[in-house]
Amino acid sequence: MKLSVVVYAVVMLLLLSWMLGVFQPKSDNLTYSQIVELFQQEQVKSFQVNDHTITLYLHEPYDGKTTLRSQLADPEGFQRDFQALFLEQQSAGTLESYDFVAGKAMSPYDFVLPIVLAGGVLLILWMVLASRASRSNPMSDFGKARTTLGGSQKKVTFQDVAGVDEEKAELQEVVDFLRNPKKFEDMGARIPHGILLAGAPGTGKTLLAKAVAGESNAAFLAISGSDFMEMYVGVGASRVRDLFQQARKVAPAIIFIDEIDAVGRKRGTGLGGGHDEREQTLNQMLVEMDGFGRAEGVIVLAATNRPDILDPALLRPGRFDRQIYIAPPDSKGREEILKIHAAGKRLDESVNLHTVAMATTGFTGADLSNLVNEAAITAARENRPVINMKDLNDAMMKILAGPEKRSRVRLEKDRRLTAIHEAGHAVAMYHLPEHDPVHQISIIPRGHALGLTWTQPREDSDHLTRNQMYQQIVGLLGGRVAEALFLKDISTGASNDIDRASKLARDMVARYGMCESLGTVSYTSGEEVFIGRDYEKTKSYSEKVAGTIDDEVKAIIDRAYGECEGYLREDAQKLKQVVEFLLEHETMTGEQFAQCMEGKPIGEAGDTSLFDSYQQ
């Protein structure tokens, strides 16, 4: 940009110089003495003085010219000093004529035309530079909505979306209305003005919106909620107006706002200079969606994973008529999703996607896509032509716990401490009938963990009972109890276990009403972690109740600790066998662990897989 300005400036100066030169008479730069000498030698045939310019017409060429032009500093003095000489030469016939036109006014063309031309050049230059600046300077389009038009990338349809059949049916109605509105209008129905897609990250909200764009013949404009906000006041509201204006021009149209919570958060006290700007942006969006300026023929799709913090005015019917919650898929949905992501990839005959789907409880669509991709990367890295079950197992372990760090140098005492800690978890969990079964124990560092005790649920479940939560606490305390019993000391390795156990106990008491002394009452409804609504956390209960909550939480932890200690004392010898096995082999399968706990000989350590328990 700077180079272009310099080039244009140079061109402008050259043009101005040329124009000024064209309208100025060329001078031969004669000195006063040379002019006088030409008269004295009777070389001048005739001459004319116009203001301060003298033009000489000669009898013979002087420097190859018969016409010379030069400047006179004092035309009146020149005429006064040589008037007698002029008359004498005129009488002798050597000087035919002469003329003095001192102070002659310039022609209008001599004055106006250069100014007009110079002004035209400057105007053209300014227009060119302004046009280039508007294209390259982001300041010039602050008020424009930065939308992405659908169809610019690979087309996504409902066939590319699996595991959300009910959600697809809801959105299919929108597509049908856009394709055949008369069918609905004849029944007196109107299409929803807005549909909010809510759910955990990775469940397919954005993918569903892309599928609507792919299925519908309507124009599709996509924008992120954060794109509305800038450092300048009024930009957000301006972009909202521009967005809906663009949609009206191409109606029927679909607007997709991803992460709408960035701009649609509840209006409240707020902190920071951007708060008022965000509210102005939200207010403008409310007006555009269902106000005096509501856009006809425009449907708004929005996605968020925090619908609880959105402003109620945004969620009311007439703006977002429908709220579709997208949950993580069940085993059937996971299998359908795996089939989509496995298409086009070379799978070994041993790969059973049903087994993988059963073992991936809690995985979202994004998790499953990542799982298949990581397995493909593993197979390619090992130069194998197909993806096998081991690749999928390694990929799942990597996603959930991080990559193995076998090369990490560890002291023997640290390895033993880790083995005792993990064995304590496993032995405690073995005695808990409602706890997920142990699948694998390892003292190989992965990610941030120095070791892990891996459990897997037997089946999908939507609820946790009080006994299940309590038994999870007992299992979490197994590592700390084992350290205290067999090392006569405790370490920082149990910090995460203690945090999770304490949170479970506090949720049992204060959130889920599972404490008899406090009754079926929730004591967390007054807490609000989002500053946009309340300035800070507030408690809706007294200090006495707070003390009771703390006492009940400690009582649950103490009872679980005592129960866990009893299990580990009872099976101390078996725990030591598990520790020695881990120190020798580093990894113990769930089957080998069960053999040890049942007093059977421990079999050879083969390849362990997260899918073993689900093989048909």
Domains 2-101 and 331-401 share a fold: no
- 3-class DSSP assignment, residue 259: coil
Kindly provide the residue ranges of all beta strands, DSSP E only, lying in 238-277, ordered along the sequence. Answer: 253-258
Q: Which residues contact 21 (CB under 8 A, 6 or more apart)?
A: none
From the options 1.20.1050.10, 3.60.15.10, 1.10.3720.10, 1.20.58.760, give the CATH code of 412-614: 1.20.58.760
DSSP run (H or E) holding 322: strand 322-326
Q: Which residues contact 488 (CB under 8 A, 6 or more apart)?
A: none
**Structure tokens belonging to residue 548:** 């009771």
Residues 433 and 593: their CA atoms lie apart, in Å, by 16
**Structure tokens belonging to residue 41:** 């030698």
Q: Are 323 and 171 in contact, with CB atoms under 8 Å apart?
A: no
Instruction: Cite the annotated binding site by residue number.
Output: 199-206, 421, 425, 497
Over residues 60-86, the mean pLDDT reads 79
* Domain boundary assignment for the chain: 2-101, 148-326, 331-401, 412-614
- 3-class DSSP assignment, residue 488: coil
Question: Which pLDDT does position 411 carry in this prediction?
Answer: 85
**Span of 54-68, 491-505, 554-568 with lowest mean pLDDT:** 54-68
**pLDDT greater at residue 9 or residue 455:** 455
| CA max distance for the chain | 149
Q: pLDDT, tens digit, for every residue of 532-562?
A: 444 445 677 889 999 999 999 999 999 999 9
Q: How is residue 404 annotated by DSSP?
A: B
pLDDT at 614 over 80: no
Catalogue the active-site residues. 422
Question: Which pLDDT does position 28 carry in this prediction?
Answer: 65
Q: pLDDT, tens digit, for every residue of 267-289?
A: 765 544 445 778 888 888 888 88
Question: Which pLDDT does position 250 carry in this prediction?
Answer: 84
Distances (CA, A) of 248 to 196, 298, 299: 20, 7, 10
Residues 333 and 364: their CA atoms lie apart, in Å, by 10
Which ranges in 448-494 belong to alpha helices (H)? Answer: 466-476, 478-486
Class of domain 331-401: mainly alpha
Architecture of domain 2-101: 2-Layer Sandwich (3.30)
Question: Which pLDDT does position 85 carry in this prediction?
Answer: 79
- State how far Cα 257 lies from the chain centre: 13
**Structure tokens belonging to residue 214:** 């792919």
pLDDT at 314 over 70: yes
DSSP run (H or E) holding 141: none
Over residues 418-445, the mean pLDDT reads 93
Q: Which residues contact 14 (CB under 8 A, 6 or more apart)?
A: none
What b/e string do you get for 75-89 counting C-beta neighbours within 10 Å, with b at 16 or more? Answer: beebeeebeeebeeb
Q: How confident is the model at residue 152 (pLDDT cuts 50, 70, 90)?
A: very low
Q: Which amino acid is at 472?
A: Q
Instruction: Cite the annotated binding site for ATP by residue number.
Output: 199-206
Instruction: Provide the mean pLDDT of the chain.
Output: 81
- CATH superfamily of the 148-326 domain: P-loop containing nucleotide triphosphate hydrolases (3.40.50.300)
Helix-helix angle 108-136:2-22, to 10 degrees = 170
pLDDT at 20 over 70: no
**pLDDT greater at residue 231 or residue 304:** 304
Residues 599 and 603: their CA atoms lie apart, in Å, by 12
Q: What is the tally of helices (H) and strands (E) in the chain?
A: 22, 13
Strands 53-62 and 44-50: antiparallel
Over residues 460-478, the mean pLDDT reads 92
Q: How confident is the model at residue 490 (pLDDT cuts 50, 70, 90)?
A: very high
**pLDDT greater at residue 483 or residue 600:** 483
Instruction: Cite the annotated binding site for Zn(2+) by residue number.
Output: 421, 425, 497
Question: Which pLDDT does position 174 carry in this prediction?
Answer: 84
pTM beyond 0.85, yes or no: no
